[in-house]
């Protein structure tokens, strides 16, 4: 059978079953063919649809798994070496990552999804694959992602990876003023493709990956190039392509940097501002105790105690016996450890007790208040004219700082934001 499907088509083995599916609907009954050619591999839902309809057996469904369809998990250096020439021959690569933040602490990178023209791949960082050659291929190319801040931070922490250029499809949608900018929403609106939500809370450290997990992971990248092309066209038509490029550059700079090792205020969680000084001391010690327990158990901290429970127990500890308020699921060892930490915090000498941070700011003058109102009204008017969220132009905190000293704080703005808010200038 001749290949008329064009470049990048998927070639099934001789024992594959031919069928046509569009948007999850079977169009014709399958027939046995010597060779079949498809645009993309069948998803988990497609295989389930065909088996439930009685059109193919479970054996044939298994043959239609991703490994049969050339989408292999890259889990050896040899497999990675075979993949690299496919990636090196293009100027762009669609990328996504999966981690196990709901199951481990600290979280770790568990999967890299990659797509180029005619090829999708899953790379397994947990298989001790040397990823430096892959990162060298990725670095100079345009990396297309959706909501890239989490992925960039994950790659920076794991490999100190800094891409030369990124295109964030979520950010592009927001620059177009779209109110729904999730990947599923954009794929349906721009491409007419309805993606499965899939196992969003799956444990991505699990091996082997299930078919559903593979389908879900690959859907995160295989449509990004087509989506980015359409978004670029609309951004260019609105004169916002450079705005988006500047924002993506800022994201890379923000995400790909090392944060201070000792964040002494990390324990000041929501609700702590209402606690007494004594309760603050308890909260701080409970925070560090919980963090230690989470690391030892390799579980996220909320598995030990939630933020809300930390604040609640800290308050109760200063009012009397905290033991009756402890959750029943705590083991005897953790219960004893928590009570010991509370006792130490309460008996700590007064000078060593923590206090609420003093405001480093000063009272704004009447002139600064007037300037803030001018900036806010200007921002809100620009947001309406451009069809953007007001906070997307400048947050309230940024406006307050600009009102106090424009020259000192204007560097917080991107060029297009500065042009819109610059005092004395008319919005473009």
Is pLDDT at 334 greater than 60 in this prediction?
A: yes
Residue bearing the bigger pLDDT, 396 or 4: 396
8 Å CB contact between 313 and 325: yes
Is pLDDT at 33 greater than 60 in this prediction?
A: no
The stretch 204-213 carries a mean pLDDT of: 92
Is pLDDT at 428 greater than 80 in this prediction?
A: no
State the Cα angle at 171 between 168 and 174, rounded to 5°: 150
Out of 29-38, 120-129, 215-224, least confident range:
29-38
Out of 33-42, 60-69, 152-161, least confident range:
33-42
- What is the rounded end-to-end Cα distance, in angstroms, of the chain? 58
Tokens of 62: 């298994």
3 state DSSP class of 212 = helix
| Rounded CA separation 172/395 (Å) | 19
Q: What are the residues whose beta carbons fall under 8 Å from the beta carbon of 377, sequence distance 6 or more?
A: none
3 state DSSP class of 168 = strand
Tokens of 174: 């927001």
Report pTM.
0.79
Give 281-292 pLDDT, tens digit per residue.
999 999 999 999
Q: What are the residues whose beta carbons fall under 8 Å from the beta carbon of 284, sequence distance 6 or more?
A: 267, 345, 354
8 Å CB contact between 145 and 151: yes
Dihedral in degrees, nearest 10, Cα atoms 338, 344, 348, 352: -50
Q: What percent of the chain has pLDDT over 70?
A: 79
CA-wise closest residue to 217 among 138, 344, 357, 114 = 114
DSSP string, 266-334: TT--TTGGGS-HHHHHHHHHHHHHHHHHHHHHTS-GGGT--HHHHHHHHHHHHHS--GGGS-TTS-HHH
3 state DSSP class of 38 = strand
Q: What percent of the chain has pLDDT over 90?
A: 71
CA-wise closest residue to 416 among 173, 248, 247, 179 = 247
Quick one: pLDDT at residue 201? Answer: 86
Is pLDDT at 295 greater than 70 in this prediction?
A: yes
| Rounded CA separation 158/109 (Å) | 7
| Rounded CA separation 209/206 (Å) | 6
CA-wise closest residue to 64 among 4, 114, 18 = 18
């Amino acid at each position: 059978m001749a290949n008329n499907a064009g470049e990048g088509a998927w070639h099934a083995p001789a024992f594959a079953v031919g069928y046509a599916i569009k948007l999850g609907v079977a169009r014709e009954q399958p027939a046995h063919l010597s060779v079949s050619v498809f645009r993309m591999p069948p998803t988990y839902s497609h295989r389930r649809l065909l088996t439930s309809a009685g059109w193919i057996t479970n054996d044939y469904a298994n043959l239609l798994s991703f490994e049969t369809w050339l989408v292999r998990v890259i889990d050896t250096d040899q497999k990675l070496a075979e993949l690299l020439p496919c990636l090196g021959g293009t100027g762009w690569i669609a990328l996504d990552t999966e981690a196990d933040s709901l199951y481990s602490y600290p979280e770790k990178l568990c999967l890299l999804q990659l797509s180029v023209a005619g090829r999708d791949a899953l790379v397994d960082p947990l298989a001790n694959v040397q990823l430096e050659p892959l990162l060298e291929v990725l670095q100079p190319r345009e990396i297309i992602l959706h909501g890239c801040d989490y992925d960039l931070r994950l790659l920076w922490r794991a490999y100190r990876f800094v891409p030369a250029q990124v295109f964030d499809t979520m950010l592009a949608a927001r620059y177009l003023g779209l109110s729904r900018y999730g990947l599923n929403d954009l794929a349906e609106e721009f491409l007419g493709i309805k993606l499965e939500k899939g196992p969003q809370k799956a444990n991505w450290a699990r091996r082997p990956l299930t078919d559903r997990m593979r389908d879900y992971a690959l859907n995160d990248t295989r449509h990004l190039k087509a989506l980015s092309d359409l978004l670029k066209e609309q951004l260019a038509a609105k004169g916002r392509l450079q705005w988006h490029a500047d924002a993506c550059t800022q994201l890379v700079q923000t995400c790909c940097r090392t944060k201070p090792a000792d964040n002494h205020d990390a324990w000041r969680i929501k609700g702590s501002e209402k606690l007494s000084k004594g309760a603050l001391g308890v909260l701080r010690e409970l925070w560090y105790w919980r963090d230690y327990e989470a690391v030892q158990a390799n579980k996220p901290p909320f598995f030990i105690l939630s933020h809300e429970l930390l604040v609640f127990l800290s308050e109760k500890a200063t009012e009397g016996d905290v033991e009756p308020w402890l959750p029943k699921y705590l083991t005897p060892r953790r219960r004893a450890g928590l009570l010991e930490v509370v006792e130490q915090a309460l008996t700590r000498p007064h000078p060593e007790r923590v206090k609420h941070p003093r405001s480093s700011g000063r009272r704004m003058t009447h002139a600064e208040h007037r300037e803030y109102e001018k900036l806010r009204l200007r921002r809100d008017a620009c947001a309406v004219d451009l069809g953007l969220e007001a906070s997307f132009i400048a947050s309230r905190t940024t406006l307050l700082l600009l009102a106090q000293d424009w020259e000192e704080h204007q560097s917080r703005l991107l060029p297009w934001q500065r042009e819109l808010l610059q005092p004395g200038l008319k919005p473009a």
